[in-house]
C-alpha cells in the first residue's frame, strides 16, 4: 500500500469521474434514471381556471340574498366552457372542470345549506387559477434530478413520451480467492462459500445498475489476468473483491498496474476497508478488500457515490443523529453499520470483525464516524 489517504483525499480522486454520456429512452423506462435535459412546461399550469371541489360555481356579487340557488346546468371536467351564466344562478360543477369566466367562487356541496351557500363562504375560494403553478416555458424539473413517479407524471403532462437521461454505468464484478467455493458447493472445513459477489450483485440490481460481467478468480495470476482483461473490456466500472492487501497471493495491484498504470490511491484511513485501491481508468476500478463487511462498507461509502457521479448525479450524504453516540477511533474514520430502530432512530450495528457479516443483518447503511473526538451528527450512506 501507499501512503494512507484521508476520506476527503480519497474523495478528491473519485471526484475526477465524469458522467458517461446521455441516451433517450421511453418514458416508462426512465424510472430511477437521472434526467439529462430539463422538463419544461409546454403551456401554463393549470392551463385553465380549475374547480378544486365538486359543488356549485357562481358570481358572488349576483347571488340572491335569500332562497335556494337556481342551477343553470351541470358542468363536468372535460366539458368546454359553457355559455353565459344567467344572473343570480349557478352551475353545478365537478372537480377539474373549467370555472367559467363569469364565475368567481366555488362552494362544495357539503357547504350548501338548504340549497344555497352557507354564509361563511369566501369570494374566490376553491378556484385553481390558470398559470398559478407554472407559466408556459417554465422549468418544471431540472437536469440532474432522479426520475421518480412524480417526475414521470410531470413529463407525461407536458406531452413527453421519451426522456433524455444519463447513461447507466455498466459494472463488472470479479471476486477472488482459492478458499471461496460456489454457494451450491459443499465446502471443505478450510473453505467458505462465496458471498461477496452475490452481495454486490444484489445491491447493484436494487439500484438498477446493468451487470455485464460476474466471475470468480482463483489465486492464479495467469487465470486472473485473463478474467481481468475480459472484465475491463466490458464495463465502465470494475469491482474486485480481495487480493489487494499485502499477502503473498495478493497480486491484484500488480495485474492492474500492468494494464492501467499506478492507482490513484491504495490505502485509506478507514475501518473497515483500509486496503481500498482506486484506478480512475477508464474503466474505473475499485479494488475492495476481501472481507464481507469491508466489501459492504467500502462499496457503500465509495462506489455508490462514484456510480451516481458517472450517471450525472452527485450524492450528498444527509447528516443524522444516532440513538447512542459512538466512541470514535483514534486515527481512522469508522464506517459503522447501522440499523433503524423501532422509533426510527439509527442504532449502531458493529460487527465483531470485518469478516463477521452475520451480525450486520438487518442494517440499512453506514454512518461515517470521524476520528479523534465525539461528534453529534454523522454523514449517513444508505444501502441501495
CATH ID of 23-44+133-166, from 3.30.70.141, 1.10.3730.10, 3.20.20.450, 3.90.105.10? 3.90.105.10
Cα 316-320-322 angle, rounded to 5 deg: 150
Map out the domains of the chain as residue ranges: 7-21+167-310, 23-44+133-166, 50-128, 319-382
pTM, two decimals, is: 0.86
pLDDT at 64: 85
All three cell numbers of 282, joined, read 477508464
In this model, does residue 209 exceed pLDDT 70? Answer: yes
Contact between 87 and 60 under an 8 Å Cβ cutoff? The reply is no
**CB within 8 Å of 344: residues ≥ 6 apart:** none
pLDDT at 357: 76
Q: What one-character DSSP code corresponds to residue 166?
A: E
50-128 homologous superfamily: Molybdopterin biosynthesis moea protein, domain 3. (2.170.190.11)
pLDDT tens figures, 227-243: 999 999 999 999 999 88
Q: Tell me the C-alpha distance between 13 and 100, whole Å.
A: 60
Q: Collapsing DSSP states into helix, strand and coil, what is residue 258?
A: helix
Q: Which residue has the cell 461528534?
A: 375
All three cell numbers of 332, joined, read 481512522
Element (H, E) at 41: none
Question: What value does the mean pLDDT take over residues 88-103?
Answer: 96
Residues in the chain: 384
CA atoms within 13 A on the CB side of 10: 26
Q: Tell how strand 365-369 and strand 333-340 pair up.
A: antiparallel
CA atoms within 13 A on the CB side of 86: 7
What's the longest Cα–Cα distance across the chain?
A: 97
For 7-21+167-310, CATH gives 3.40.980.10
Question: What value does the mean pLDDT take over residues 182-191?
Answer: 83
Q: Tell me the C-alpha distance between 381 and 377, whole Å.
A: 13
In this model, does residue 181 exceed pLDDT 90? Answer: no
pLDDT at 343: 85
Q: What one-character DSSP code corresponds to residue 35?
A: B
Q: Tell how strand 333-340 and strand 70-75 pair up.
A: unpaired
Q: Tell me the C-alpha distance between 266 and 4, whole Å.
A: 7
The confidence band for 149, taking pLDDT boundaries of 50, 70 and 90, is very high
pLDDT tens figures, 64-92: 888 888 999 999 999 999 999 998 899 99
Contact between 1 and 267 under an 8 Å Cβ cutoff? The reply is yes
pLDDT tens figures, 283-326: 999 999 989 999 999 999 999 999 999 999 999 999 999 988 88
All three cell numbers of 223, joined, read 487465470
Amino acid at each position: 500500500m501507499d501512503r494512507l489517504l484521508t476520506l476527503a483525499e480519497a474523495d478528491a480522486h473519485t471526484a475526477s469521474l465524469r458522467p458517461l454520456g446521455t441516451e433517450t429512452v421511453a418514458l416508462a423506462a426512465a424510472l430511477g434514471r437521472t434526467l439529462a435535459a430539463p422538463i419544461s412546461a409546454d403551456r401554463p399550469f393549470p392551463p385553465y381556471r380549475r374547480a378544486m371541489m365538486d359543488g356549485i360555481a357562481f358570481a358572488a356579487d349576483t347571488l340572491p340574498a335569500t332562497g335556494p340557488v337556481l342551477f343553470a346546468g351541470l358542468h363536468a371536467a372535460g366539458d368546454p366552457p359553457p355559455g353565459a351564466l344567467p344572473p343570480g344562478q349557478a352551475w353545478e360543477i365537478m372537480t377539474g372542470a373549467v370555472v367559467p369566466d363569469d364565475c368567481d367562487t366555488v362552494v362544495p356541496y357539503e357547504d350548501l345549506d338548504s340549497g344555497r351557500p352557507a354564509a361563511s363562504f369566501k369570494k374566490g375560494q376553491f378556484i385553481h387559477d390558470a398559470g398559478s403553478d407554472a407559466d408556459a416555458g417554465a422549468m418544471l424539473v431540472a437536469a440532474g434530478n432522479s426520475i421518480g413517479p412524480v417526475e414521470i407524471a410531470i413529463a407525461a403532462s407536458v406531452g413527453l413520451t421519451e426522456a433524455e437521461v444519463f447513461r447507466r454505468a455498466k459494472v463488472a464484478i470479479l471476486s477472488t480467492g482459492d478458499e471461496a467455493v460456489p454457494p451450491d458447493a459443499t465446502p471443505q472445513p478450510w473453505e467458505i462459500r462465496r458471498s461477496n459477489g452475490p452481495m454486490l450483485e444484489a445491491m447493484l440490481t436494487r439500484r438498477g445498475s446493468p451487470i455485464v460481467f460476474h466471475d470468480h478468480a482463483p489465486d492464479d495470476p495467469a487465470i486472473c489476468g485473463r478474467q481481468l482483461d475480459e472484465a475491463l473490456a466490458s464495463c465502465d466500472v470494475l469491482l474486485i473483491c480481495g487480493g489487494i492487501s499485502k499477502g503473498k497471493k495478493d497480486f491484484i495491484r500488480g495485474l492492474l498496474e500492468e494494464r492501467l498504470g499506478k492507482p490513484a490511491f491504495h490505502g485509506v484511513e478507514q475501518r473497515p476497508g483500509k486496503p481500498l485501491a482506486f484506478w480512475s481508468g477508464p474503466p474505473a476500478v475499485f479494488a475492495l478488500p476481501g472481507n464481507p463487511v469491508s466489501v459492504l462498507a467500502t462499496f457503500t461509502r465509495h462506489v455508490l457515490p462514484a456510480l451516481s457521479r458517472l450517471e450525472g448525479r452527485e450524492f450528498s450524504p444527509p447528516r443524522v443523529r444516532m440513538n447512542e453516540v459512538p466512541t470514535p477511533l483514534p486515527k481512522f474514520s469508522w464506517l459503522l453499520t447501522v440499523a433503524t430502530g423501532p422509533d426510527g432512530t439509527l442504532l449502531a450495528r458493529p460487527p465483531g470483525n470485518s469478516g463477521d457479516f452475520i451480525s450486520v443483518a438487518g442494517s440499512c447503511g453506514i454512518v461515517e464516524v470521524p476520528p479523534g473526538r465525539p461528534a453529534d451528527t454523522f454523514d449517513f450512506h444508505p444501502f441501495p
